[in-house]
Structure 1
Amino acid sequence: MALTACTPASSRLLTPTSSPVRTAEAARAVTGRTVSFDLRAAPTALDLAGKSAQTWSYGSIPAQALRASVGDTIRVKLDNGLPEETTIHWHGLALRNDMDGVPGVTQPAIAAGDAFTYEYTAPHAGTYWFHPHVGTQIDRGLYGALIIDDPNEPLRYDEEWVVILDDWLDGVTATPDQVLEELSAGMQPMSGMEGMGPMAMGNMLMGAESDLLGGDAGDVFYPEYLINGRPAADPETYSSSPGRRVRIRMINAGGDTAFRVALGGHRMTVVHTDGFPVTPFEADAVLIGMGERYDVLVTLADGAFPLVAAAEGKEARGFAIVRTGSGSAPAPDADIPELSGLVATADRLTAASDVALPNRQPDRQLAIELTGSMEQYDWGFGGRRFDFDRPLDQPWQIRSGERVRIEFTNSTDMWHPVHLHGHTFQHAGGGPRKDTSVVLPQQTLTVDFDADNPGRWLVHCHNIYHGEAGMMGVVAYQA
């Protein structure tokens, strides 16, 4: 049966704690081991090269990485020391529905001063991350890496480096809530600015352009771009030895910025995206949209090298140093040819054979149109903005066991990284398995997934300001 629009919500839907959800969790392979963590969300100060920014975090920015193995039970107690309610979403994990961290859809929000314990089985190996799913909190310092190890890891490498990229304004120019309020008033295009480059107007950014992103690269002005919580003026240094093979796990935790990432003097071999392996692909740089993750292998040369995360189209960058020997540290504005070389994007990748979906015709098709504009700031799906007070109004409905095809058609003049909770989909034509993918303006992205994780799952743009303006919806399993 094919559906091309939202069906009425009168049909009974599975609840996050229903029997099928519990049955799916019980069917997961388990190790019998429980790994426990404590997190506290609270106000904090971030040191930006001697300048202090008041923000929120889980104790550090980024939070200490959480690590477990496939089949482990993960137990995380979150104490909410913020002045408002919050949750944690475990981005990319196909976990049990009642632990997904979406207020009004999978759980009540955790009130200020309260606590909640998340507990679930780790279903798949890979690079994931965690962040709130309340308002614009993700554009503060509330994020960290979640690494799920494969006990039978087939890759061979000597060490790992987790690299979290972020665009930063909280406590410097504005709060994310103030930015959303300003954006929501709309932005009128200004003639005569073509070719002038990015120009800040309050918290808005005009003239940020990228061919890779199909035009408009972003609309928020950020005064800083961070790698692992540090600005270019005070960069992190990763120390190693020549000849060492490093797995770099890259995560884009930004709110409005895609990053083009390259390591001076090196090529990268892309081996995973969004936690799932791909046919190895050699490139000079990698383009990472908000919410995406890419794992690359690099064999280190001798010396000191710049790791550059260019804010795509915004003429700014995050910066870190890789040092394996003597020599002067590279400058933050170092010109590296890799940034203009071959850029790995999802459309160039193919899923590894062991994770590719079996050939099967879809049982159900969902047509999701991305709509809206900067002028009205009316981002939504199908011309409809998400109702946060009635999140289960008109969900897209599916049934367990179906092969589901989604056609994301972007009718806007801006790119959008769309994220589906609780599942990984595969790009059409044998492309990669992902949970977050860039849909370019005036283009259609077709993906398939198997409905094997019952519950109610959010689908949304991972530009935090687009999502909060209304580009969200729910895919819900029928009872």
Structure 2
Amino acid sequence: MIVGTQAYDNLVPGPLIRANVGDELAVTVKNDLAQATSVHWHGIALRNDMDGATPATPNIDAGKSFTYRFSVPDPGTYWAHPHTGLDLDAGLHLPLIVDDPADPGAYDVEWIVVLDDWTDGVGPSPQQIFDGLRGGAMSEEHMPGMPGMGGVGRSDLLGGDAGDVSYPYYLINGRIPAAPTTFSAKPGQRVRMRIINAGSDTAFRVALGGHRMTVTHTDGFPVVPTEVDAVLVGMGERYDVVVTAADGVFPLVASAEGKNAVARALLSTGAGSAPDPGFRPSELDGRVGTVQLLSAAPEVVLAAGKPDAALSAHLSGMMMPYDWRINGRTFSDTQPLTVRQGQHATLTFTNTAMMWHPMHLHGHTFQVMKPDGSVGPRKDTVNVLPNETLTVGLVADNPGIWMLHCHNTYHLEAGMMTSMNYVP
């Protein structure tokens, strides 16, 4: 089956971009689409005019080109995607890896794993889905994710409804479960898996059959190594894990949380046969790594300082009508959050909605503050559960106008975005 979609260099995922810490990247984007586009460099603390989101960076008009130039200050697992309309829910995403040559890491081989939920070309278009969610003309039989229609269930890990959209397919590295990619290694090798969730409406619970994982990083930054059976990865999040490869053929399964479907790939280190495409390893029901389990490695804890700015993001909305807001306003009517250069700020998310939201801040990382007062991981995207209040700390050290939004593509398009603006 051949389907049409948007893509970077005719690849899904797009081509890997790799650099060393401190390098300056120059990436020229030629827009052959029929509409304007952009490329947002998700998780990179880059200069504001290269962020790839308006108004900081103008969109690239159809038929035009633009060169993004920026340095990469921190090692880690990052990615890139458009920040225009519903374009992310096609094939426009690529991995970006920043290496630290002074820290080669305690692993033998590396496996980049890009997760996605897929409808473009095989189901309703993203625009049809959005119109249906907003009460448009989409018929009920093609109304993904609406209550009782799309097969989207609930998730204890996410505190309620798992999502809005039930997709025709869920992918790992651009392939459906019946035609998976295979990663080859040798028994006993330590495999570093860089897991990126490029999906639009799906959290994935990821496990490698027959193996336990050690979580080493999230959103690019190291954590105190934590052994788990699986990890839960929300949209926009990244998790790095290390496994010691056993001998045989093993399924890497990404269960679409609450959606009764899986994506999968294979790890092959020797003789053996792959299980059925729908196989679910027992590790999915074991100890699941989430932000609550993790603590930042001491070397990346943000500098402590008495907070001199307190920011608030009140998250609200509902399915009927399909309306999502921050501080009671959609983005078209937003009142920006403000900080001053050098401030130590807290940002408190208060979610009164019945839906979880993966909240992403551009141009910065933040320290998750656990309810017991301990230091959580350093991240740029964090899942805020229904009825949860979650506080993060940040240092205002990168002036500009920076977007703060839910990384559910449909919540974002419905208005769940504001900005954090630096003021004199």
TM-score strictly above 0.5: yes
Count of residues in correspondence between the two structures: 413
Q: Which residue of 2 aligns with 1:296?
A: 241
Deviations 1:220-249 (A, max 9, x none): 120000000000011001111100111100
The 5-angstrom pairing of residues 107-122 of structure 1 reads 107-122=57-72
Q: Which residue of 1 aligns with 2:176?
A: 231
Q: Which residue of 2 aligns with 1:82?
A: 33
Q: Which amino acid aligns with 1:425?
A: F
Is 1:405 aligned to residue 346 of structure 2? Answer: yes
Bigger radius of gyration = 1
Distance, in Å, in 2 between the alignment partners of 1:368 and 1:334 is: 40
Distance, in Å, in 2 between the alignment partners of 1:377 and 1:95 is: 33
Is 1:336 aligned to residue 281 of structure 2? Answer: yes
User: What is the TM-score when the length of structure 1 is the normalising length?
Assistant: 0.85
Determine helix, strand or coil for the equivalent of 1:172.
Answer: coil
Which of residues 427, 433, 453 in structure 1 aligns to 2:368? 427
Deviations 1:310-333 (A, max 9, x none): 000100000111000001122212
Q: Is the CA contact 1:267–1:298 (under 8 Å) kept in the aligned structure 2?
A: yes
Q: Which residue of 1 aligns with 2:16?
A: 65
Distance, in Å, in 2 between the alignment partners of 1:272 and 1:352 is: 9
Is 1:445 aligned to residue 365 of structure 2? Answer: no
Which of residues 219, 222, 229 in structure 2 aligns to 1:277? 222
Is 1:317 aligned to residue 317 of structure 2? Answer: no
Q: Which residue of 1 aligns with 2:129?
A: 179
Q: Which amino acid aligns with 1:324?
A: T
Q: Which residue of 2 aligns with 1:160?
A: 110
Q: Is the CA contact 2:337–2:420 (under 8 Å) kept in the aligned structure 1?
A: yes
Q: Which residue of 2 aligns with 1:102?
A: 53
Q: Which amino acid aligns with 1:411?
A: T
* Pairwise CA RMSD: 1.4
Q: Which runs of 4+ in 1 moved over 4 A?
A: none
Q: Is the CA contact 2:253–2:280 (under 8 Å) kept in the aligned structure 1?
A: no
Shift of 1:154: 5.7
Q: Which amino acid aligns with 2:323?
A: D
Shift of 1:151: 1.5
Shift of 1:258: 0.2
List runs of 5+ in structure 1 lacking aligned partners.
1-50, 188-198
Determine helix, strand or coil for the equivalent of 1:338.
Answer: helix
The 5-angstrom pairing of residues 354-393 of structure 1 reads 354-387=299-332
Q: Is the CA contact 2:177–2:262 (under 8 Å) kept in the aligned structure 1?
A: yes
Determine helix, strand or coil for the equivalent of 2:163.
Answer: coil
Relative to structure 1, the CA distance from residue 339 to residue 200 in structure 2 (aligned partners, 3 Å threshold; closer, same or farther) is: farther
Deviations 1:264-296 (A, max 9, x none): 000000000000000000000000000000000
Deviations 1:124-173 (A, max 9, x none): 00000000000000010000000000121162110101000000000111
Q: Is the CA contact 1:239–1:323 (under 8 Å) kept in the aligned structure 2?
A: yes
Q: Which amino acid aligns with 2:406?
A: C
Relative to structure 1, the CA distance from residue 347 to residue 128 in structure 2 (aligned partners, 3 Å threshold; closer, same or farther) is: same
Which of residues 54, 68, 85 in structure 2 aligns to 1:135? 85
Shift of 1:180: 1.1
Q: Which amino acid aligns with 1:185?
A: G
